[in-house]
Structure 1
């Protein structure tokens, strides 16, 4: 009977997100996320982005943030913004800048999803 080997770290995205060989993903603690608010500027203005419509009838679209270089191992982060299902979109300036900074810091492709909001679209 073989012993299950321990999962090993495959990718570490600045302590914010860690991906392990068994498929598990670990989110950093609050201290690791404070690096997003550090005072030194992060050059994110060069980050390219584009909006892609998924379903025009319901207004479903995503904003893709592209890292400067991509490979077959470029990580992808799906970002669903907060707002209690009633506020914001990927085009909201502060959320847009956060995604640009993540691309600059992590080198990941960020997919920021625009979902339908209440009260126009009833929950659930």
Structure 2
């Protein structure tokens, strides 16, 4: 089962949408204010578009097909949030037409980084 997810994630990385490609140009290689992002990354049974694992922030991009999948997307978001992640969703069109605004929203979310949901006990931090 895990192999299936790995293969699917690789396929998604090879066939990114224009919006995913554009956003990845800004997020990759710590170009975005030094934050580390991964693309098409598996979390539990889901493959998320982008994740900043250090602060448990997920960025999902939705195309037109998601207008018909709003209930499933809401369930997915709820489950990911239940695992301690914050989820930002943007329409592909917003990424393509208002890239700077989308990047500002992501940067604000990073600035408000929530503490880790399972922090180490005080004596084990360093």
TM-score norm. by structure 1 comes to 0.31
Instruction: State the structure with more CA Rg.
Output: 1
Higher helix content, 1 or 2: 2
TM-score norm. by structure 2 comes to 0.30
Higher strand content, 1 or 2: 1
